[in-house]
């Protein structure tokens, strides 16, 4: 299977439009060895023709323009995107759906809770239905599997993760299973597997099991420290409070990944994270731990 990282940044991207933090400011002024990053999304395919889009970021237009394999091939209107899977209803993962309104019916796979958010607090599905048909396909949240007719040779296992629904969700303060999911993608013919979870607040036993059984991990790389946003004076919220395990420190992602055999790649990197600087000390620590940092355009062949 082939996995294309369309966007490796967290919400806001890198640099973020209004941010003057050490990273954003240095990248903008060419004072840093690092790459700009668009917001969180990947595409996966087993045949390089038919693609599943996982999350639809506000940057989707530029992401598709940068990726010839998913562009129109035949007829007047065409796309390699045959279905869309949403892991939650967050702005940076769903706003891009609005950019796909010119298309044929959209086959969107997401949990019941995500569907509810996208027809109430953030009614993207309702809005889209005035332009194109939205076919919602419910997905399991107990780790069981499903396949998608137009995407050959791939099987998906989806499971609820402990997390919070977005601020605009009617059940923001009343967490439900399915507000956020992790997904294992398996190529049926080869048995190769990848685990994708750009938001991981807590390493639940089933998450550890997933990490132990796959060939490649694409997991939460949002923050380096738990108080990254607090210490910069950007927010009062700590990483763990908003569903992101920091990389450093006790029980952090580096510690968690120690001993995991799979190829390890961090994704969904916030613009404040020092690992965005390829020459940083933090980046050297990741290198030493055998952990990679995703970038836009990275392709993984499994």
> CB of 87: closest distance to Zn ion in angstroms?
9
> CB of 19: closest distance to Zn ion in angstroms?
3
Cβ-based nearer residue to Zn ion, 215 or 277:
277
Q: Confirm if 223 and 273 have CB atoms less than 8 A apart.
A: yes
> CB of 178: closest distance to Zn ion in angstroms?
17
Cβ-based nearer residue to Zn ion, 159 or 197:
197
3-state secondary structure of 102: coil
Largest CA distance in the chain: 55
DSSP codes of every residue in 39-73: BSEEEEESSSSSEEEE---TTHHHHHHT-GGGS--
Cβ-based nearer residue to Zn ion, 18 or 236:
18
In which order are the strands placed within the sheet that holds 151-160? 142-148, 151-160, 181-187, 193-197, 216-220, 263-267, 291-293
3-state secondary structure of 265: strand
Cβ-based nearer residue to Zn ion, 38 or 159:
38
> CB of 163: closest distance to Zn ion in angstroms?
11
> CB of 159: closest distance to Zn ion in angstroms?
18
Listed in sequence order, the residues at least 6 apart from 162 whose beta carbon sits closer than 8 Å to its beta carbon are: 175, 180, 201, 202, 204, 243
3-state secondary structure of 79: coil
Cβ-based nearer residue to Zn ion, 21 or 214:
21
Cβ-based nearer residue to Zn ion, 15 or 80:
15
Distance, CA of 188 to CA of 244 (rounded, Å): 31
- Tell me 44's DSSP state: E
Binding site for Zn ion (CB under 5 A): 11, 19, 21, 24, 40, 92, 271
> CB of 291: closest distance to Zn ion in angstroms?
19
> CB of 11: closest distance to Zn ion in angstroms?
5
> CB of 248: closest distance to Zn ion in angstroms?
18
Distance, CA of 83 to CA of 106 (rounded, Å): 7
Q: In whole angstroms, how far apart are CA 189 and each of 61, 86, 158, 302?
A: 32, 25, 19, 12
Cβ-based nearer residue to Zn ion, 50 or 271:
271
Is residue 91 within a helix (H) or strand (E), and if so which, with residue range? helix 91-94
Q: In whole angstroms, how far apart are CA 168 and each of 119, 122, 197, 290?
A: 11, 7, 22, 38
Cβ-based nearer residue to Zn ion, 41 or 50:
41
């Amino acid at each position: 299977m082939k996995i294309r990282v369309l966007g490796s940044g967290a919400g806001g991207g890198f640099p973020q439009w209004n941010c003057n933090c050490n990273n954003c400011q240095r990248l903008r002024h060419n004072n840093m060895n690092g790459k700009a990053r668009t917001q969180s999304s990947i595409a996966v395919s087993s045949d390089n023709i038919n693609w599943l889009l996982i999350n639809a970021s506000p940057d989707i237009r530029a992401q598709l323009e940068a990726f010839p394999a998913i562009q129109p091939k035949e007829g007047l209107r065409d796309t390699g995107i045959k279905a869309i899977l949403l892991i939650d209803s967050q702005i940076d993962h769903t706003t891009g759906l609005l950019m796909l309104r010119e298309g044929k019916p959209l086959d969107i796979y997401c949990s019941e809770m995500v569907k509810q958010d996208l027809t109430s607090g953030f009614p993207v599905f309702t809005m889209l239905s005035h332009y194109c048909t939205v076919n919602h396909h419910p997905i399991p949240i107990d780790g069981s599997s499903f396949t998608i007719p137009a995407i050959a040779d791939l099987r998906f296992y989806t499971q609820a993760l402990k997390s919070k629904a977005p601020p605009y969700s009617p059940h923001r303060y009343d967490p439900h299973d399915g507000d956020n999911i992790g997904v294992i993608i398996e190529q049926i013919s080869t048995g190769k597997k990848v685990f994708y979870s750009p938001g991981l607040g807590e390493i639940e036993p089933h998450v550890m099991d997933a990490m132990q059984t796959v060939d490649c991990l694409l997991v939460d790389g949002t923050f380096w420290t738990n108080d990254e946003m607090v210490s910069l004076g950007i927010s009062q919220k700590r990483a763990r409070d908003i569903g992101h395990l920091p990389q450093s420190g006790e029980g952090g992602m580096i510690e968690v990944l120690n001993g995991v055999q799979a190829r390890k790649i961090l994704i969904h990197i916030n613009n404040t994270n020092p690992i965005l600087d390829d020459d940083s000390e933090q980046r050297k620590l990741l290198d030493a731990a055998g952990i990679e940092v995703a970038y836009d355009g990275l392709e993984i062949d499994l």
